[in-house]
Structure 1
């Protein structure tokens, strides 16, 4: 379980492919403190630490993860947002994030507001019921507030600290993003769909 509050940036040192899997070596200020089997959010994707060497750690993504996230676009030298799992008794500064990416979206707009930055994100309209004005979303692992909602797009605004300390500084139109919608919203949608299905059978 995560909160969407990024702790550090990691740099992709190298990657390799074995069968349908992809393995990444990532260097970061946090890596030396990781332990094998620890769950860490990598730009919104929960991955298990497999090995630690000095300031680097190794993770592997299977085909299911590669199909549903942006990991296939990661390249050597690229940056990723890192967050360790929530500690019991810790503060929930963002919102409840599982690290289970629902889908990918695309950045379609970027605007420097001279003190903040705004991004427009397009997504599949099939997820529209989960996107609400002033609701929460995990975008590349970052807990953000949604505004200017449309059936297939929304906007987010970034403060200077978030811009400087996350990969938002590199996000530009055309870039893909990992999206995880609010977990509570997903449960509400599921419950509503079950009621509709039950009513149709009655």
Structure 2
């Protein structure tokens, strides 16, 4: 694109800043990642919980709800669906019998392994066109910006809006039909990276 005779920009979209580009790419990455998770019969918040449990098994429901930025009352119904599917289990906390400790099951571990593969492929696709050095530099810069904004590492801020799900399948079929109930923004964990 050049300039006009008078030195003005030609008609068309105005240049955009970094904040807009981050939002544009974030929404695009979130949408693509959510579509990939349908193959695993997971929603992005469910994938986020599996990741949290792999890193720190045996945490209480309240702690996990806090980490996800989700109200505890919503977390219970949210976790019920994963427990019904045999991906997580609640056990009495050995230190405080009033609390439940949440753990991945063997089946949950298998699904998490598939989720990590999907995440790695998503990361590759979203950063294709960058060299390894550029990818590392971009990741470092984005991490620094996220830290500066006070964002929790690895937790999508959209999880705060997750509603209790009656069924993951019902929600996903509703989204395919054009309904977006229970979807945090276009939301995914962290756009699929760092699974």
Same fold, TM-score > 0.5, yes or no = no
TM (normalized to structure 1)? Answer: 0.28
TM (normalized to structure 2)? Answer: 0.29
Greater share of strand:
1
RCO comparison, higher one (Cα < 8 Å, 6+): 2
Greater share of helix:
2
